[in-house]
Structure 1
Amino acid sequence: MNTSFTRSLGTFALAASLFTSVSCTKDLDQKPSYRASADVIYSDPAQIFQVLARLYSGLAVAGQGQVGSSTERGDLVKINADYSNYVRNYWNLQEITTDEATLAWGDPGIPDFNTLTWNADNQFVRGMYERFYFQISACNEFLRQTTADKLAERGISSNSEVANIGQYRAEARFLRALSYTHLMDLYGNVPFTTEASVIGDLPPQKSRAEIFAFVDSELKDIEGSLLAPRTQYGRADKGACWALQTMVYLNAEVYAKTNRYTDAITAAKKLLTTGGYSLAPEYRSLFLADNHEGAAKNEMIFPVVFDGVFTQNYGGTTFLVHASVGGSMDAAQFGINGGWYGLRAKKNLVDLFPGGATSTDKRSMFYTKDQSKEITNFGDFSQGYPVTKWRNVKLDGTPGSWYPKPDGSGGNGDFVDTDFPLFRLADVQLMYAEAVLRGGTGGDAGQALTYVNAIRARAGATPLGAITLDDILAERGRELYWEGHRRTDLIRFGKYTTGAYVWPFKGGVAEGRGVADTRTLFPIPTSDRIANPNLKQNDGY
């Protein structure tokens, strides 16, 4: 069970009542309707820290209602809680829409992801969008309430308390920058609001390049105020800042039509030359219930922390573990009480590994018994190989905290302890190598090859004598599959919409076909455009 800062996420009912929405739609109504007095909460440094923790919990939980209730809606009243969970929905948009994953369920909107045929009324497209703005609104309110003037008015004046809260503000700005990064990646030109915005005003729409500039500026400005790398697991520190900068700069040509590969190398080097980070000796340990401990912890840069007791919900890694199990699979081996018969790999992912599902590459984690590699019917769980990467068991084989124990303690196997790595060391090493190959200066081609071969050595793969950009894309596919990177990677490499690279049912046909380049963005939800006439729809929708 996680013992880090975010273990206490389940205690923040008080903090949840403090967020004032400056969202774009009228549908972002929040629960509970009662708001505790900001003057009371924000006059106590301990409670301010609780509100900060609630900001982090926005990445992990959908709300604070009763988990599993038929009326559960989470933070967003008019969206099913499962459909608005940050990690779960982000994963869906980044993976099911690519060559890596498919989902069997027929919930309206999911089949559209399998075929790249979604529209502006897709409930998952809307749920992700509204989750981003709920998170941004929460961060904005925290920043409004913790200015130097507000702290002084409320009697918080000691140097240490003011300094601590200044650090919390930097973390809130990081979390906001993270959501804006995801927004510009997925939706392009989006509404923009900060703590300076007037509550109730309709936000203006900013271009993707303007959002990029804001994120770039924010990350530079907060870098010096964040915790030193690896000070406390689960919190946004300088290492998280450098990792996000690397990702943003690597994709700058997509986001802002500008070459920032040299900046990507600079940011990556800050992290890669900092002590404390190291590749976990066992790849599988990164996706287990105790991945917040031991050698796996040393590879984590910024995880979303999940705990079977304190962050109970049906999103995040609970979704990834349960939905990957079905058919003849033994759920107990995954530390859960049963499978949801949902997620499987498309054949393109299997074929990335030499030898496919029987590859000697240790990252090849597929279940093949009673399963076919080919998929002709997404709704048939027996078609496609389930991925066995995500589990609710520890490295020693014992189950996570929410699994029934022989003495009767524990839970019932519903929820998992496995953390989700938004950024980890191998990702940054591969981003560094790619930026070098793309012509960024300040890097070293020999070092780039060393990083790639270190990742391959852990997997038991043959070292490469030289690397190309195609090698990098393939290696990212093998190393980072089912971790929420693939759509962004395929777009950056020009392979997402083209008919030259296809996967089953891309474009709505069994053999796959090219789709319009407009599919590199999701549409602005119809509900938001109705509520905010400032917004222009993305081309093609």
Structure 2
Amino acid sequence: MKNIIKNKTIYILGMLFVLFGCTNDLNIDAKDPNVLLVDDFYSTPESYKEGLAGVYGNLSLTGASGPGSSNISGLDAGTSQYGRGFWNLQELTTDEVKWSWENDPGLRGLNRNSWTSDNVVIRGFFGRCMTEVAFVNEYLRQTSDAKLNSRGVSAELRNEIKTYRAEARFLRALAYYHLMDLFGKAGFVTENDPVGAYQSPEYGRPELFAFIESELTEIIPDLKNPLQNEYARADKAAAWMLLAKIYLNAEVFIGEKKYDQCVSYCKDIIGAGFSLTPVYANNFKADNNTGAARNEIIFPIVSDGVVTQNYGPTTVMVNAQVGSLEQNGADFGVAGWAGGLRVTKQFSQTMLNGDYNDDRNTIISKDRSIEMTSMDNYGTGYITAKWSNKTSTGANGSATEIVDTDFPMFRLADVYLMYAEAVLRGGTGGSLTTAKDYVNLLRSRAHNTKLITVSNLNLDLILNERMVELYGEAHRRQDLIRFGKFTGGTYNWSWKGSVVSGIAISDIYKVFPIPRASIAANPNLKQNTGY
């Protein structure tokens, strides 16, 4: 799918943006002048796969004419990219990393946990998720039995389209999962609603949870087996992963414990043929779509420096981890944006003072203070070197700013830690001994000699292991909420609540506000409490 997205998506997105130009509730501007008639587009067997590539393309691309264009108006095109919006909300709001340039619209509020319903980054991601829902709905309308009958589609192609439709429904479930997690609600619309049905009913977490669960369960038989689909296309393992995610967080989402189910789906993934790449760093390099990393990454958002260009999370992280003092962009195969990202004192202390003198600890501290005493002083606060636009053999990526490195939304290491956590929280069907072994597999892979025993295994250790193994991969906000450490004052970090040492913040910040513009377009949406 990475090659298909490279070759087809710009064209397809141009067509889709025209189709959805009337969806004002999504704040989409149709800017492409090339109007394509739908039946003309779906006139060849290949077009159904190309249409699916366009739906996938919304995860990576922002507009029909390159990385500087966006079909979501009112904010920077790069900021509107799906993966980057997701990353901004899950990472900048936590104890992992902060964005130095607080004049960039919306980012000061995220850095300091002081956002409002007018925050453009929040609005952009809400709109991007709803755009994905709209794209999926239209693809499903255009691949219905009635449409296929009217076009005389062969039985052989129909069988392929059955899989394509299941993948599209997975992408819609993924978008609704992100809306459920980050916003707690969304306007709910499917392919059975008419195009332009702006005022869709509001679904809260219970309704969204039930939809995602039933949708994924229904489509799994139609998805390809794990590791049997093209790279970056969803398979059964991607659906199992999303189910495991909603079950791990079910106490937060719907107030119910579903750890048994989480353990079960983690076991399915672990037994499906995935494996850890022997070199931890290769998961985050320019060729992570090939080789051993291919067998660890379950579902990525793709990036390519020349064709699938986007200012997504990996382009941001590779460039912005270049230090203002160090100017070490050449080490990562980019020119760099010196000083863009720095990590918090608490993150650095966990890495340096714990049992993590291993390959995952990429902190650079020379000539720096551990605390970001000022957001404007880019020489304060440590930096990290996890991400790279160089390949596993040391070659540079295809460009020097937009990177070739794919973003691993789901990977096997996360599954091991989810399994361990679910077992510790009472999930049946697993064992503490196996959970311990999975943690040690990750430590051993990173050349950490401090292996744990069952007696060492507890939830505090798991939270730290998740930070060390998965930092920068857009899990931290959700993790801190699940562990009861995001709001309140039991755990504070640098700049939490706009104070250098950190202060308590209200529970309202466990979800983001519904963007003011989205409520104006759909009065059925009600603002989250406190905003």
TM class by shorter-chain length?
Answer: over 0.9
Structure-2 separation of matches of 1:119 and 1:291: 37
Displacement of 1:340: 4.4
2:290 maps to 1:293: yes
- Distance 1:512-1:302 versus aligned 2 partners, 3 A rule: same
With structure 1 as the length reference, what TM-score do the two structures score? 0.93
- 1:356-505 matches, cutoff 5 A: 360-402=357-399, 413-461=400-448, 462-466=450-454, 467-505=457-495
Corresponding residue for residue 210 of structure 2: 213
Partner AA of 2:42 in structure 1: Y
Distance in 2 separating the partners of 1:279 and 1:19: 42
Contact 1:17–1:34 (Cα < 8 Å) also in 2: no
Q: 1:17 and 1:353, CA in 2 relative to 1: closer, same or farther beyond 3 A?
A: closer
Matches within 5 A, 1:112-261: 112-156=109-153, 158-201=154-197, 202-231=199-228, 232-261=230-259
Listed one character per residue, the Cα deviations across residues 181-232 of structure 1 (whole Å, up to 9, x for unaligned) are 0000000022111111122231111111100110001100010101111122
> 2:278 and 2:22 mapped to 1: Cα distance?
45
Return the match for 2:96 from 97, 100, 114: 100
Moved more, 282-291 or 72-81: 72-81
Partner Cα separation in structure 1 for residue 498 and residue 188 of structure 2 = 34
Distance in 2, matches of 1:23 and 1:535, equals 16
Q: Secondary structure, in 3 states, of the residue corresponding to 1:82?
A: coil
Tell me whether 366-375 or 228-237 shows the greater mean CA deviation: 366-375
What SS class does the counterpart of residue 434 from structure 1 fall into?
A: helix
Separation in 2, partners of 1:32, 1:253: 44
Partners of 1:3 and 1:56 in 2: how far apart? 10
CA-CA distance at 1:19 after TM superposition: 3.8
Paired with 1:443 and 1:508, the residues of 2 have a C-alpha distance of: 42
Distance 1:366 1:26 in 2: 40
Q: Which amino acid aligns with 2:288?
A: N
8 Å Cα contact 1:100-1:349 kept in structure 2: yes
* CA deviation map 1:324-375 (0-9, x unaligned): 213223211111123243111111111112447x952210012223332111
> In the TM superposition, what is the alpha-carbon distance from 1:160 to its structure 2 partner?
1.3
Aligned in 2, Cα 1:523/1:293: closer, same or farther, shift over 3 Å? same
Q: CA RMSD in A?
A: 1.8
Match of residue 322, structure 1, among 296, 301, 319: 319
Structure 2 CA distance for aligned equivalents of residues 3 and 247 of structure 1: 25
C-alpha separation in 2, matches of 1:478 and 1:293? 24
Runs of 4+ in 1 over 6 A off after TM superposition: none
State how far apart, in whole Å, the 2-side matches of 1:18 and 1:444 are. 52
The equivalent residue for 1:337 is 335
Are 2:18 and 2:32, in contact at CA under 8 Å, matched by a contact in 1? no
User: How high is the sequence identity, in percent, across the aligned residues?
Assistant: 44
Query: CA 1:129/1:32 → structure 2, altered by over 3 Å: closer, same or farther?
Result: same
Deviation at 1:531, TM superposition (A): 1.8
Structure 2 residue 74 is matched with structure 1 residue 78: yes
Question: How far apart are residue 449 of structure 1 and its match?
Answer: 1.1
SS at match of 1:83: coil
CA contact (8 A) 1:24 1:203 kept: no
Aligned-partner SS, 2:277: coil
Q: Measure, in 2, the Cα distance between the counterparts of 1:483 and 1:31.
A: 32
Q: Which amino acid aligns with 1:8?
A: N
Give the unaligned 5+ runs of structure 2. Answer: none
Moved more, 225-234 or 170-179: 225-234
The code of the aligned residue for 1:31 comes to K
- CA distance 1:505–1:340, shift in 2 (3 Å): same
Please say if residues 497 and 503 of structure 2, whose CA atoms lie closer than 8 Å, have aligned partners that are also in contact. Answer: yes
1:24·1:133 contact (CA, 8 Å) conserved in 2?
A: no
Corresponding residue for residue 27 of structure 2: 27
* 1:262 alignment partner AA: D
Any idea what the Cα deviations from partners look like across 1:60-101, whole Å, max 9, x if unmatched? Answer: 11112244xxxx441213332112111111111000000000
**CA apart distance, 1:252:** 0.8
Q: Helix, strand or coil: the match of 1:353?
A: helix
Structure 1 pair 171–376 and aligned structure 2 pair: CA distance change class (3 A)? same
CA contact (8 A) 1:12 1:50 kept: no
Deviates more, 1:461-470 or 1:362-371: 362-371
Q: Paired residue for 2:268?
A: 270
- SS at 1:117's partner residue? coil
- Letter aligned with residue 63 of structure 1: G
Alpha-carbon separation, structure 2, partners of 1:9 and 1:362 = 38
Q: Which of 182-191 and 55-64 deviates more?
A: 55-64
Amino acid in structure 1 at the alignment position of 2:7: S
Q: Which amino acid aligns with 2:204?
A: S
Please tell me whether the aligned partners of residues 433 and 445 of structure 1 are also in contact (alpha carbons under 8 angstroms): yes
TM-score after normalising by structure 2: 0.95
Aligned to 2:106: 109
Output one character per residue of 1:126-167: Cα deviation in whole Å (capped at 9) or x when no partner: 1111111111111110011100111110111x2210010111
Q: Deviations over 1:277-326 (max 9, x none)?
A: 11111111110011111111111101111111111122231111112213
The DSSP-based 3-state class of the residue aligned with 1:221 is: helix
Instruction: Classify 1:389/1:9 alpha carbon distance in 2 versus 1 (closer, same or farther; 3 Å).
Output: farther
Q: Does 1:536 align with 2:526?
A: yes
Residue type of the partner of 1:451? Y
1:286 partner SS: helix
Residue-by-residue CA offset, 1:458-493 (whole Å, 9 max, x unaligned): 122211112111111110010000100000000011
Q: Please give the alpha-carbon distance, in whole angstroms, between the structure 2 residues aligned to 1:5 and 1:262.
A: 38
Distance 1:517 1:527 in 2: 23
Q: Any unmatched runs of 5+ in structure 1? A: 403-412
User: Aligned partners of 1:494, 1:355: CA distance in 2, in Å?
Assistant: 23
**In structure 1, how many angstroms separate the alpha carbons of the residues matched to 2:376 and 2:141?**
47
Counterparts of 1:446 and 1:27, CA distance in 2: 51
Shift of 1:535: 1.3
| Aligned length in residues | 523
Gap change, CA 1:341 and 1:104, over 3 Å in 2 = same
Q: Would the aligned equivalents of 1:23 and 1:133 in 2 still touch at CA under 8 Å? A: no
CA displacement at 1:525 relative to structure 2 = 0.5
Alpha-carbon shift at residue 22 of structure 1 (Å): 7.6
CA, structure 1 residues 337+501, in 2 after alignment: closer, same or farther (shift >3 Å)? same
Deviation string, structure 1 residues 35-58 (Cα, Å, up to 9, x no partner): 311112223221111111111111
CA distance in 2, matches of 1:452, 1:170: 33
Q: CA deviation at 1:16?
A: 3.5
Residue identity opposite 2:505 in structure 1? V
Counterpart in 2 of 1:526? 516
